Amino acid sequence: MPIKFGLLTNPANNILEEIKLIKKLGFDYVEIGIEPPCGAPEIILRNRQEIIALIRKFNSCPVAHTPWWIDLGSNYPQVRKAWIEEAKRSIDVSKALNIDKINFHFYSLGLTRLYLKSYQLEILNNIITSLKEVVNYATSKEITVIYENADVKREILGIKEYKFVVDSVPKLKVHLDVGHAFVENGLKGIRDYLFTFRNKLEHIHIHDNQGEEDEHLPLGEGKINFEQVAKWLNQINYDKTITFEVFTSKKDARNSMLKFKEYLKKI
Ligand SMILES: [Zn+2]
């Protein structure tokens, strides 16, 4: 199967208009942001029929995307419980749209606080326990959960900790954000994620940056060698979905897609 290329809806805009625009720009599928204000679960459910009708016009299935700040690792038990319920609600929304792939992010507010390093294992274990519940819930609805790597340079949210979580949660699949891996550890970071998780890799986000911040730039405006990334994807025979998470404009995202398709064609 050839790789499919998609674009994420901007949750600040009307969701129906976003999907129409993404189709018009020639993408194979839409990644639906289940996120307030305009992509909040109740809004998506209210527009369910129209969204399904628009999705049918694409040649490939959509992917569901949830906000990065869902905190499945919180060491406030009531807060964690509430986030698990919200995660399940996003899974219900995906099911209502016949989407079979939903992402969550490797994140916990506690893990971004270096002074809490002594709590790292506790928070990672909270994430694992929460994810097991979320993945089981999704599996019962025939939905695959994909887990996106973080965009920080800190060792507390790096590939080692990410692998610990992924290895501990059966059926959890890998969602590689190439820009995030570059912020973490440059081109080597991207290579490490690709080749460590090639058998679990289900989805990819692509965008450029200078290696310091998660800038979501068009391809070529940052420092990532995307020709090399394309070579590696060919090497591992990647044949799933790639979403262009370029935030400058949708036109830039489309041009980035066209550029990356050319790189993939070169052997
Ligand atoms: Zn991403």
Q: Tens digit of pLDDT for each residue in 117-135?
A: 678 889 999 999 999 999 9
Instruction: Give the CATH number of the domain where residue 239 resides.
Output: 3.20.20.150
Cα(66) to ligand 1 centroid in Å equals 10
Query: Ligand 1 centroid vs 216 CA: distance in angstroms?
Result: 9
Ligand 1 centroid – CA 21 distance (Å): 20
Asked whether residue 156 carries a pLDDT value surpassing 90, the answer given is no
Q: 67 alpha carbon to ligand 1 midpoint, in Å?
A: 10
* Structural domain span for residue 223: 4-265
> What separation in Å is there between the alpha carbon of 148 and the centre of ligand 1?
7
pLDDT at 267: 67
CA 88 to centroid of ligand 1, rounded, Å: 20
Is the pLDDT score of 112 beyond 90? no
> Tell me: the pLDDT tens digits for 192-211?
999 999 999 999 999 999 99
Q: How many whole angstroms from 54 Cα to the centroid of ligand 1?
A: 23
Q: How many domains does the chain have?
A: 1
- Cα 205 to middle of ligand 1, angstroms: 5
Mean pLDDT for the chain overall: 95
As beta bridge partners, residue 101 has 144
The pLDDT assigned to 234 comes to 96
The pTM of this model reads: 0.96
- Ligand 1 centroid to Cα of residue 190, in Å, is 13
245 C-alpha to ligand 1 centroid (Å): 6
Q: Considering only 17-21, 101-105, 111-115, 181-185, which range has the smallest mean pLDDT?
A: 111-115
Distance, CA 261 to ligand 1 centroid (Å)?
A: 19
Length of the chain in residues, anyone? 267
**Residue range 95-113: mean pLDDT, rounded:** 92
Query: With 70 as the cut, is the pLDDT of residue 115 above it?
Result: no
User: What pLDDT digit, counting tens, does each position of 16-55 carry?
Assistant: 999 999 999 999 999 999 999 999 999 999 999 999 999 9
With cut-offs at 50, 70 and 90, classify the pLDDT of residue 111.
Answer: confident
**pLDDT band of 264, cuts 50, 70, 90:** very high
pLDDT on residue 114: 61
Q: What is the pLDDT of residue 55?
A: 97
Residues 110 and 100: their CA atoms lie apart, in Å, by: 30
Distance (angstroms) between ligand 1 centre and the Cα of 159 equals 15
Strand partners, 204: 176, 242
Query: What per-residue confidence (pLDDT) applies to 162?
Result: 96
Q: Calculate how far, in angstroms, residue 189's C-alpha sits from the geometric centre of ligand 1.
A: 15
- Quickly state the pLDDT bin for 152 (edges 50, 70, 90): confident
Average pLDDT over every residue of 170-192: 97
